[in-house]
């Protein structure tokens, strides 16, 4: 453990705007306010903003959890951004460009923007940070990511996450003054422990790909398989993350941390995750329109399966698990046939340095779907 006796202090941001009043946005607002920050929480719906201010909780997304003083909800984005020292954006990835367009005339110049949403933009293949840099130039852009369920975070259960921003030369000379360090300190509290990273690419890739892998785990769990299968998918899913991160200039090491392996493990371990839940229902044979009792639930891994695979194909990165999920979700492939094909692909080496590929001896074998223990 490093000696912290002479560790320089980092100044937290006094006022933070959280753009997005869903469960995770509200949880992050709660963490910030609990730590003494002044928080403006923007909701797309005026009635939700009013309900939050009147009731002192978010009745739609985190019912029953009292919000600490210091949170003011608003449906006017200019009010949320006025006087902010930093911004955290927590909106669905598909709406990010529209949100940036609304923010552009209102956001104070030069303040840092951290993304707490995950994905790759469909069509462009851009990481979400690249979308923000294009739409809102002149702002440091980073991300907050990790193994975090919103309700547990809002209840102050011990939680860790990564705060990542690219580090400029000046940031490296004075890292405690970097946006990553200052936002990490702003979020740090009794239960919430952030770690600082300069590998934004690795963190974003981990956050986007893990949702797709979680759907795969859910599919196999719903089909009747158990821990061996999930462990295999998690481990090989991490390898797919590493390959994409490295190809885009990120670090393989980042993918083994909180924003990669940590987030993936959590998301693949509980149907609290909408990605895992969707996969589980599909694995049980429930038709997609009937999942979530027919409610129109946005599942980021479903949205991002297409964009992840489009990008992987474009940069020449093999991602067979993600390919399988995308084929089932968006190309009409049969779930059982697709996973049979995944499991009987040619045998390859685990260390990449060992160049070997072998025909699978049972290419037409079928997995025991529906088999009991």
Any idea which residues carry the catalytic annotation?
A: 210
Q: CA quadruple 295, 296, 300, 302: dihedral positive or negative?
A: positive
Give the DSSP per-residue string, 157-199. Answer: --EEEEEE-PPPHHHHHSGGGSHHHHHHHHH--SSEEEEEES-
Q: How far is CA 31 from CA 52, 80, 294, in A?
A: 16, 17, 33
Separation between Cα atoms, residue 86 and residue 111, nearest integer Å: 6
Give the DSSP per-residue string, 236-297. Answer: HHHHHHHHHHHHTT--HHHHTSIIIIIHHHHHTS-TTSHHHHHHHHHHTT--GGGGGGG---
166-195 b/e (C-beta count within 10 Å ≥ 16 → b) = bbeeebeeeeeebbbbbbbbbbbbebbebe
Which residue, among 80, 16, 26, 24, has the nearest Cα to 58 in the 3D structure? 26
Beta-carbon neighbour count of residue 233 at 10 Å? 25
Separation between Cα atoms, residue 101 and residue 118, nearest integer Å: 19
**Residues near 168 by beta carbon (within 8 Å), at least 6 away in sequence:** none
**Residues near 205 by beta carbon (within 8 Å), at least 6 away in sequence:** 127, 241, 244, 245, 248, 250, 255, 260
Separation between Cα atoms, residue 225 and residue 367, nearest integer Å: 10
Q: In this structure, are strands 15-19 and 38-42 parallel, antiparallel, or unpaired? A: parallel
Q: Are 183 and 112 in contact (CB under 8 A)?
A: yes
């Amino acid at each position: 453990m490093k000696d912290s006796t002479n560790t320089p202090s980092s100044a937290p941001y006094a006022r933070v705007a959280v753009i997005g009043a869903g469960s995770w946005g509200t949880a992050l607002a709660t963490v910030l306010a609990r730590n003494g920050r002044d928080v403006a929480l923007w909701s797309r719906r005026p009635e939700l903003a009013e309900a939050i201010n009147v009731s002192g909780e978010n009745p739609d997304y985190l019912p029953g959890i009292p919000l600490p003083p210091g949170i003011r909800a608003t449906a006017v984005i200019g009010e949320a951004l006025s006087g902010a020292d930093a911004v955290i954006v927590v909106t669905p990835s598909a709406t990010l460009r529209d949100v940036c367009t609304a923010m552009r005339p209102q956001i104070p110049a030069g303040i840092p923007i951290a993304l707490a949403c995950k994905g790759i933009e469909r069509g462009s293949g851009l990481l979400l940070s690249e979308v923000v840099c294009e739409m809102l130039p002149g702002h440091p852009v980073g991300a907050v990511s990790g193994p975090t369920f919103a309700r547990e975070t809002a209840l102050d259960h011990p939680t860790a996450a990564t705060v990542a921003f690219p580090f400029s030369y000046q940031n490296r000379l004075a890292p405690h003054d970097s946006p990553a360090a200052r936002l990490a300190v702003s979020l740090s509290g009794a239960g919430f422990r952030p770690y600082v990273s300069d590998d934004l690419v690795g963190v974003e890739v981990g956050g986007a790909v893990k949702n797709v892998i979680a759907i795969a785990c859910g599919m196999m769990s719903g089909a009747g398989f158990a821990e061996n299968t999930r462990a295999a998918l998690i481990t090989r899913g991490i390898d797919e993350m590493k390959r994409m991160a490295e190809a885009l200039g990120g670090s393989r090491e980042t993918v083994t941390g909180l924003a990669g392996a940590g987030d993936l493990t959590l998301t693949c371990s509980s149907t609290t995750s909408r990605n895992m839940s969707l996969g589980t229902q599909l694995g049980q044979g429930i038709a997609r329109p009937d999942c979530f009792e027919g409610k129109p639930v946005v599942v980021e891994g479903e949205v991002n399966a297409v964009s992840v695979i489009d990008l992987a194909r474009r940069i020449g990165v093999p991602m067979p698990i993600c390919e399988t999920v995308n084929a089932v979700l968006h190309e009409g492939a049969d779930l059982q046939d697709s996973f049979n094909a995944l499991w009987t692909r040619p045998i390859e080496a685990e260390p990449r340095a060992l160049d070997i590929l072998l025909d699978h001896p049972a290419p037409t074998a079928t997995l025991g779907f529906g088999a009991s223990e």
